[in-house]
Every structure is written in structure tokens, then in C-alpha cells.
Amino acid sequence: MKMGGFMKKRVMIGMSGGVDSSVAAYLLKEQGYDVIGVFMKLWDGEAEREKACCSLSAVEDARMVAEKIGIPFYVLNMRDVFKEKVVDYFVDEYLNGKTPNPCIACNKHIKFDAFLKKAQMLECDYVATGHYSKVEHDSESGRYLLKKSDTDEKDQTYALYNMTQYQLERTLLPLGNYNKDQIREIAAKIGLVTANKPDSQEICFVEDDDYYRFIKEYSQKDIPCGDFVDKNGKVLGKHRGIVKYTVGQRKGLGIALGKPAYVVGINAKKNQVIIGDNEDVFKKGLIAKDFNLIYCDEIEDGMTVYAKVRYSAKAKKANIYKIGRDKVKIVFENAERAITPGQSVVIYKGDYVFGGGIIEKAI
């Protein structure tokens, strides 16, 4: 399709039925792109919850938005790859005493890999999502960079650190210059059905937010009880299965020690949950694997960065060291709370994502 003498760039946008992706699709069309709206069918749950990302109502909301803004709309079946790369991974990690982030796995394997490949099959130039982040091209280095959104509270770069140069070059993130209130105002102004739709908070494939029930039913494995132990291995009581616990947890332990007790570690091989005091939850550093660099080609050993160990955490001052292929050591200026194996650490240089990886262990 030509526009003003130039070929109109085609973009395939993932539409979830939420307000963010709805407005992202509208903004792209307003910017002159040839936009195709696609709903990714990822999961069939037992209950079609109203707020679930793959519910029938979510599909219909996305379809109505596409019709309203005048773009074609399709539903794409991506259940198999989602099951393999996200759900199986989520369950396996929990059974091995880790605390995974399935949204990060979904972005890595689904939205910016499998989805991008589908878009290219349809001769699209770009894919797009409703993430609050920015992609910039640095003319000096020739690299594509991932930058924080204008509003820190909505910034979603933490979940996008796995993106490659190839993917960044072919990705549009139109919401990076907006805050949530502005997005809702745009949606209301143009009469989108999703304008006041609440944000989804839970993991999309765990219908009732009960991880233990889901993991037990999905894996069809018994999740045995085991021992609570202290740092020296002394047995303190019985736990109800390691998937019920995560590092830093205090509530719901079901153990009375006469003082506040915290989970400070999980030993899956011995089926033990290690209990300690609040100060034991703080660690000076971590080892991360599968580290993906975005900002540059090489890590300058000992360089100062800011590191974030969970989505909701603030980035803290640290030094980074390369210790192997795709593996780094990060040492914080001040001890950091609840560094959790299975979660991700994301490194920042100013407003830009330097890189990130999966936390292997705290040190």
C-alpha cells in the first residue's frame, strides 16, 4: 500500500483486549502505519474468567476495538508454543525450588519471537505491543536501545530485557511517551469499549491465583511436605511443599518460633525450606545466567550500574563482572533484600537497559 508516494509500513500488533494495546493500535494507525490487529490465543483454562487475558470477553473486546478504529483483526493460535515455553517452564522452575517470572518468558519466546516470525510471514515490517517502554536507535553505536518509559511507575522495560538487536529493530512500542491516565483519556475520547477496563494483575493461566493447586494438577505430581530448617540444618518443623514458599516470605509459613521468621532459601534436592531472621534475607550480590546484553557488545569488568532484582523493586547501585559465557556476578553497594533464584535481574545505565539475566543464586 502506498501513502504520499511512499510504501506504507505494515505492523502487526498484539491486542489483548485491554486498554493499553487498544490505544497502541489506534496510535499506530494515526501515525500512518498499515495496522493488523491480532489476538494471541495462548491458553484454554477451566474457567473463562472475565479478567483473564484469553477469555472470550477479551477476544470480543479486542475485536470491537479493531472494528472501531478500522483495522483488520485475526485470532492467532499460539497454545502449543506457550505451553512449552511458558507454562512448562513455570511449573518446572517451581518444582525445583525457584520462583520464575512467566511474563518475561512469554515476552522472550512468544511476543518477540514466535509472534514476530508470524508477522514476517504476513510480510509485516514490524510487530508492536502495548508495553510502556521505548525503542531508540543510537546512530553513534549503530545499536537499537531499550529505554524506560516517561513514567517510572508504569515502565515495563524490566520484562523486556531479553530482546535482541534483530527484534528491537523490528518492534514498535507506541506507549513509551504516555502515562496510564493519558491512555485512558484517549480511549474514552475515541469511544473504545476498553477505556475503563481494569488492568489484569494475575498470571493469565492460573485462574484462581492458586499456584500450588495449578502446579499439582498440571504436573500430576505429588508435592511432598518436608522440613523447615535453620541455617545450620536444624529441623524446626514441617512445611507443606516447596512450591508454597519463596525467598523473603514471612506470612503464611505455618510455623511459630516466638519471633518473626523468614524464608531465606529453598533446597529442592533435600526438600527443605530454610528459615532465618530478617537480616538473613539481605544478600550482597548474585550470580545470573543467560545474560542478554542490549546496550553494548561487551561488559567492562567492575563497571558501575544500577540493578533491579524484581519488577516492583527500585534499581540499586552495583558493580557487574563477567564470569563466564552469558554469566555475570553482580555486587551491590548495599545488601539487597530477597534476591530470589528464578527471578530476573535487570541492569540499567541511566534510562537505558544495559542487559539482564536469570538469577541463579544469591551470594
Q: Which residues are catalytic?
A: 106, 204
| Amino acid code (one letter) for 297 | D
Cα separation, 118 vs 76, whole angstroms: 9
Virtual CA dihedral for 113, 116, 117, 121, nearest 10 degrees? 170
Name the residue with cell 553505536.
Answer: 141
State how far the Cα of 57 lies from the Cα of 188, in Å rounded to an integer. 19
237 is known to lie in a ligand binding site = no
Strands (E), 114-246: 126-128, 133-138, 143-148, 171-172, 226-229, 235-239
Residue 226 in marked binding region = no
Q: Any binding-site annotation on 40?
A: yes
- Strand 10-14 to 34-41 pairing: parallel
Pairing of strands 34-41, 73-77: parallel
DSSP conformation class of 207? T
172 DSSP β-pair partners: 128
Element holding 322 (H helix, E strand): strand 316-324
- Residue 344, all three cell numbers: 530476573
Single-letter residue type at 36: I
The Cα 347–Cα 315 span in angstroms is 8
Q: Is 81 a known ligand-binding residue?
A: no
C-alpha cell, 34: 498499515
Task: Return the axis-axis angle of helices 88-95 and 211-219, rounded to nearest 10°.
Answer: 100
Determine if residue 130 is labeled as part of a ligand binding site: yes
Q: Do residues 78 and 41 touch, judged by C-beta distance below 8 A?
A: yes
Is 233 one of the annotated binding-site residues? Answer: no
How far apart CA 90 and CA 112 sit, in angstroms, is: 19
Cβ neighbours around 360 below 10 Å, total: 17
DSSP three-state, residue 357: strand
For residue 14, say whether it is annotated as part of any ligand binding site.
Answer: yes
- Joined together, the cell numbers standing for residue 357 give 539475566
Look at residue 251 and give its three-state secondary structure. coil
- Which residue ranges are tagged as binding site? 14-21, 40, 130
Give the residue ranges of the annotated binding site for ATP.
14-21, 40, 130
